[in-house]
Homo-oligomer: A and B are copies of this chain.
Amino acid sequence: MWYMKARQRLLDATVDYVAAHGIGDLSLRQLAAALGTSHRMLVYHFGSKEGLLVEVVRAVESRQKQALTEFEPGPLLGDQARQMWRRLADPSMWPLERLFFELYGQALQGRTHTTQLLDGVVDDMAQPMIDMLVAQGHEPDVAAAWARLGIAVVRGLLLDLLATGDREGVDAAMELFIGTFEKLA
């Protein structure tokens, strides 16, 4: 279907714009101008600025989850992890990840429209990993700890990568982690 409802089109464009320019100092007028419409339209379609931001958070959340779960299953956990990391560390993902961390920071401070992002920010990612590890014979509590640690490593190294841009150094640290996991787990 070549046709797309105006609301959805606006939302997608908004996410792109916000990923590029940040969401902190966003104003409806600037956004509308960049999108080739008027701020009146944004209010019309989303009710208010708050309503729009809520939708943006939802969209980012969904894109994030999608990017982290759509890897082909296979027996080699280490190689799966490497594949996931290669995808996440790719520069094409950086804008969305910057936005994710900006939203995360806002959510930690209690911004109303962002707090929902925190609800499953760890568990939703951890559960699939735990299932995989348990399926491979690990104890549930050990599996949970490894999953939690893995998520922390991914997020921590992404923060590093986005700040320094030093792909090599960050890749080496990730390889060290995955290698360690393969030896011990």
| A contacts, CB < 8 Å to B | 21-25, 98-99, 101-111, 118, 121-123, 141-142, 144-146, 148-149, 151-157, 159-160, 162-164, 169-170, 172-177, 180, 183-184
Interface of A is mostly: helix
Tell me, in angstroms, the Cα distance from A95 to B129 when the chains sit together: 30
| Given A22-B106, A184-B183, A153 and B160 contact (CB-CB distance below 8 Å) | no
Copies in the complex: 2
- Tell me whether B156 and A169 are in contact (CB under 8 A): no
- Tell me whether A152 and B156 are in contact (CB under 8 A): yes
A172's partner among B21, B148, B159, B170 (CB-CB below 8 A) is B148
- Tell me whether B149 and A153 are in contact (CB under 8 A): yes
